[in-house]
Amino acid sequence: MASSSSSTVAGASGWLRGKVKAVPSGDCLVIMGNSKGDSPPPERTITLSSLIAPRLARRGGVDEPFAWDSREYLRKLCIGKEVTFKVDYTVPSIGREFGSVFLGVKSVSMLVVSEGWARVRETGQQKGEVSPVLADLLRLEEQAKQQCLGRWSKAPGASELSIRNLPPSAIGDPSNLDAMGLLNANKGRAMQGIVEQVRDGSTIRVYLLPEFQFVQVFVAGIQAPSMGRRAAVETTIETEPVSDEPNGEGSAETRPALTSAQRLAASTASSNEVSPDPFGKEAKHFTEIRVLHREVRIVLEGVDKFGNLIGSVYYPEGESAKDLALELVESGLAKYLEWSASMMEEDAKRRLKSAELQAKKNRLRIWTNYVPPATNSKAIHDQNFTGKVVEVVSGDCIIVADDSLPFGSPSAERRVNLSSIRCPKMGNPRRDEKPAPYAREAREFLRTRLIGQQVNVSMEYSRKVGLADGPTTASADSRVMDFGSVFLVSSTKVEADGASTLAIPTVESQHAGVNVGELVVARGFGTVIRHRDFEERSNYYDALLAAESRAIAGRKGIHSAKDPPVMHITDLLTASAKKAKDFLPFLQRVRRMPAIVEYVLSGHRFKLLIPKETCSIAFSFSGVRCPGRDEPFSDEAIALMRRKIMQRDVEIEVETVDRTGTFLGSLWEGKTNVAVTLLEAGLAKLQTSFGSDRIPDAHLLAQAEQSAKRQKLKIWENYVEGEEVSNGSATDSKQKEVLKVVVTEILGGGRFYVQTIEDQRVASIQQQLASLNLQEAPVIGAFNPKKGDIVLAQFSADNSWNRTMLPLVLEMPNIVIWIVNAPRGAVESPEDKFEVFYIDYGNQEIIPYSQLRPLDASVSSAPGLAQLCSLAYIKVPSLNEDFGHEAAEYFSDMTLNSSKELRAVIEDKDASGGKVKGQGTGTVLIVTLIDVEAESSINAAMLKEGLATVEKRKRWDPKEKQIAFENLEKFQAEARLNRLRMWQYGDIQSDDEDTAPPVRKAGGRR
């Protein structure tokens, strides 16, 4: 090697400067030049001129006396230090350079000789092959002999004691090394050693002291680039001169002949030469200048399946110790190795993983061309807010009401998923998914600490996930979840929970608080997500990993070896109403019972957990009702209840249970009756029909409602003092349409026609018909009515144009009809018969041609005034069935032949008849017919008289319809009990009658 490229020139006389990289023996140094960039600098091996140190043991041999002590003296004296050196002479036959080395102003050769660790050779093989200071060296050698220093010691047994008792591994027989035994004996304990060789950046060969076990150690948790495969058998740094003659004189040492196996291996290696990986040489040099021939501490972590030792390597730097693996990864000269890192402690793994991520971000060395994988997460910047926790959805998800948004605003509540942690899932009762172990405990842990508390939220990233809870890149079946760190401002409830108090850096200030995510993980209720490279994560990820390590070490929560706690909850919301009624006595044993509000179903209805009875119930306020879903102020009532009592500890007093299995009673949060809060806010109405004597604090509820009325709050904004407002159940559902009607025709089977009184269309039609000339009979041939035409007809009841059947309804001399059927072809005689339907009355008859008159198109376009109706929820026998005529007569007496004022409440509409015209066709209004004067239902009266039956219920009928059925069934039961008409012989039909299969026609040929 050229001296100019290997070191810095000290002067024109050939002196060079460099740093000692290695000390192979007591008289030999490896000196490297100054580094330029990342490339390894040139280096030179210098043997001290005219000195011969004792030889260290070679393969199968033993040390010469004092060989190890001699090497150790020179190693400790020079390793890693700046020196000045000069080549005095070379011996080409062995390829060695001999020179003088100075440590500062002191000659290294003189120091070695003066301490007695080498002997001086007086003459060389050739002239001039001696040290320039030979005379001084001989003088110092003589002094060392006289003082019995070093190898010149005359102490009894000193020479024998200086020879190391080397195990087989140290003299070239690694097969006798018990790697697993060595690991078991020293697991987790720091072992002292000296690195003798660096194979590559992450593999070293070490003498373990004091037994001198010579082992190869793979650095735990990392892998450096490979050094490839050489063409020749790999050689190590020579530990001694190979000549038998002193200091290289004479011929080189004769090596034993290679065996057949060795020749085969050498030829294979030569043919399969592999060049080093990129940055392989740099990684090896990085490790060499830090640990080669230096004292290190080895902590054995494990053994792989091939018996190789895996360990952590620490080297001194000043007063501290450096982790070789971490230094390599931080410099971008090694990558994180998961299988190897799994043997290490969590903190060490975390540091390596974080260092690799940072090296990738900085594109250091082996990561220069690194392309990060696609990720489905996106960072969120500058979205910090404060608010109160409204709901704890699970151990890793909460809902916070943002203080900066208006109360009751739909966007005020923000769902926040805790960054970088995962807790057991709560399951889904609708899909019959039960909570995972510790899921309830995790949620309860947060509920008792966060509900109603002020928190600081720092949003960090969003992530697109699939509906099946897995990462996705598709937009069709995915949703975006927002993640952030949540900090509890008040730490009174978490002082003993093991979480550190951190600060969130913001633009304006720093909000101190306890990291909720760290709190959950530290208690063993969650795990830290192992993010992929470049995937967004919590800004406090290291703290979360540290908390997880503490939880694992303490065997807390999900990390415990114990069986998880089991809690069986009886859900009465999904059970039958009968089962709910069976629980009523248990809930009434004590006057007030503690409960937890699990969910706000509506402003006045909640799902409660009763811990004492281990059941969940549906609970509603007695006598207090809020607007229903999709009605004004419904959302505000729900928002108020969520802010006030959602997941709070409350007390309830159960009074009864309704027919749907909902328990009715009063609820207190602290000392406050929550129903009072609703009424005061104008978001509910008091229902006195429930019976105020049964409601605790009834006077407070009434006062609260009156206060809201006076202030005209919310639902009372249009309230007028003194105006009666119904508190009945009608306020709980959409307002039904009510018509003031008169019955005009009865068809039987519960069907009939009505006209709406005070219909504005009547006057308009009267005015148009009054201007028509109806005296002259139509001319045959000029007026040819056909099926489907709308014309005028003379009603045959009194043989005149005047209406006589219902004079109180329409004083209209003419009747508009719709021709149902007509003779084929042209009209031939005034007596030709036409079947007609009176569209303003609903009756139908056959009349002659002479009683028909044409009608102007402007009048015929107006729709008919008769509306077909059917009695709701009941089944009336038709005219050809038993008691069909009696039912029709009774209904006629109650309506057609009576002057009663009637009102029709439209329950439903049946449009299955389409737009077909004719008696009994078209859209049917399903109504409850009310006798206004008697304040009773005609439908109920038909049942009470035994002239109708209640329709068969369907399980999917809405609640309102179910209530109507229950009321009507009471009247039917009374008729059955009294054996009236249809019930004179007891039950009249089976439950399956309405669904019996149709009669099959007889088979066979005709």
What's the CA angle centered on 695, arms 693 and 696, to 5 degrees? 110
- Cβ distance 78 to 23 under 8 Å? yes
CA–CA gap between residue 406 and residue 389 (Å, rounded) = 16
How far apart CA 700 and CA 981 sit, in angstroms, is 52
Whether residue 355 contacts residue 330, with contact meaning beta carbons closer than 8 Å, is answered with yes
> Which pLDDT does position 408 carry in this prediction?
63
Q: What pLDDT was estimated at residue 824? A: 62
CB atoms within 10 A of CB 254: 8
* Dihedral-angle region of residue 606 (phi above 0 means left; psi in -120 to 50 means alpha; beta otherwise): beta
What pLDDT is attached to residue 823?
66
Give helix 346-361 / helix 541-553 axis angle, nearest 10°. 160
The secondary structure of 285-351 as a DSSP string is: HHHHHHHBTSEEEEEEEEE-TTS-EEEEEEEEETTEEEEHHHHHHHTTSSEE-HHHHTTS-HHHHHH
Helix, coil or strand: residue 141 = helix
Spatial contact of 523 and 499, defined as CB atoms under 8 Å apart: no
Q: What single letter denotes the amino acid at residue 872?
A: A
The pair phi, psi for residue 664, each rounded to 5°, is -110, 140
For the CA atoms of 850, 856, 861, 863, the dihedral, rounded to the nearest 10 degrees, stands at -50
Determine the pLDDT at residue 563.
87
The rounded distance, in Å, linking the Cα atoms of 516 and 665 is 36
**Residue 304, phi-psi category: left (phi > 0), alpha (psi -120 to 50), beta (remainder):** beta
Q: What is the pLDDT of residue 218?
A: 96
Task: List average pLDDT for each run of 10 residues in the chain, which is 1006 residues long.
Answer: 40 80 95 81 93 89 92 95 93 89 94 95 72 92 93 91 86 76 89 95 94 93 88 44 40 42 48 83 94 95 91 92 95 93 87 90 90 78 88 93 76 89 86 86 92 92 71 58 90 55 40 85 93 84 89 91 85 86 87 91 92 90 86 88 91 88 91 91 78 73 89 82 38 65 86 80 66 65 76 63 31 51 69 81 81 73 81 89 88 82 84 65 85 82 89 78 83 86 73 43 40
- Bridge partner residues of 925 (DSSP): 869, 909
Q: Which two tokens stand for residue 941?
A: 């009266």
Q: How many Å apart are CA 715 and CA 732, to the nearest integer?
A: 13
Q: What is the pLDDT of residue 246?
A: 40
As a dihedral over the C-alpha atoms of residue 373, residue 378, residue 379, residue 384, rounded to 10 degrees, the angle is -160
Give the whole-angstrom CA distance, residue 1001 versus residue 841. 40
How distant is the alpha carbon of residue 170 from its chain centre?
Answer: 56
Residue in 881, 806, 876, 885 with CA at minimum distance from that of residue 838: 806
Q: Within 615-750, where are the H helices? A: 634-645, 674-680, 698-711
- Tokens representing 46? 């210098």
Res 178: pLDDT: 85
- What is the per-residue pLDDT for 243? 41
700 CB burial (10 A radius; 0-12, 13-18, 19+): middle
- Which residue from 75, 102, 104 is spatially nearest to 88, judged by alpha carbons? 102
Give dist(CA 686, CA 95) in Å, integer. Answer: 108
The position carrying tokens 């190890």 is 68
Q: Helix or strand or coil: residue 194? A: strand
The answer to whether residues 566 and 620 touch, using CB atoms and an 8 Å cutoff, is no
CA count, 13 A, side-chain hemisphere, 257: 2
First vs last Cα of the chain: how many Å apart?
A: 119
Q: Are 619 and 547 in contact (CB under 8 A)?
A: no
Question: How many helices (H) and strands (E) would you count in the chain?
Answer: 23, 49
Q: Which of 887, 873, 968 is nearest to 927 (CA)?
A: 873
The bridge status of strand 96-103 relative to strand 43-48 is parallel
What span, in angstroms and rounded, lies between the C-alpha atoms of 906 and 873?
Answer: 12
- C-alpha 788/C-alpha 774 separation (Å) is 21
In angstroms and rounded to an integer, the radius of gyration of the C-alpha atoms of the chain is 51
Which amino acid is located at 948 in the chain? A
Q: Which two tokens stand for residue 885?
A: 């005529």
Close Cβ partners of 767 (under 8 Å, ≥ 6 residues apart)? none
Cis peptide upstream of residue 807 (ω within 30 degrees of 0) = no
What are the CA-CA distances from residue 720 to residues 398, 617, 709, 858 (Å)?
Answer: 43, 38, 9, 45
Residue 859 phi, psi (nearest 5): -90, -40
Distance (Å) of CA 738 to CA 792, 836, 906: 31, 30, 6
3-class SS of residue 548 = helix
Q: Which residue from 293, 299, 286, 326 is spatially nearest to 192, judged by alpha carbons?
A: 299
Please name the residues in contact with 243: beta carbons below 8 A apart, sequence gap of 6 or more: 94, 249, 250, 251, 252, 253
Half-sphere exposure in the Cβ direction for 492 (13 Å, CA): 4
Instruction: Give the sign of the dihedral formed by CA 796, CA 802, CA 806, CA 810.
Output: positive
CB atoms within 10 A of CB 522: 26
Give me the DSSP letters along 661-696.
S-EEEEEEETTEEHHHHHHHTT--EE-GGG-GGGST
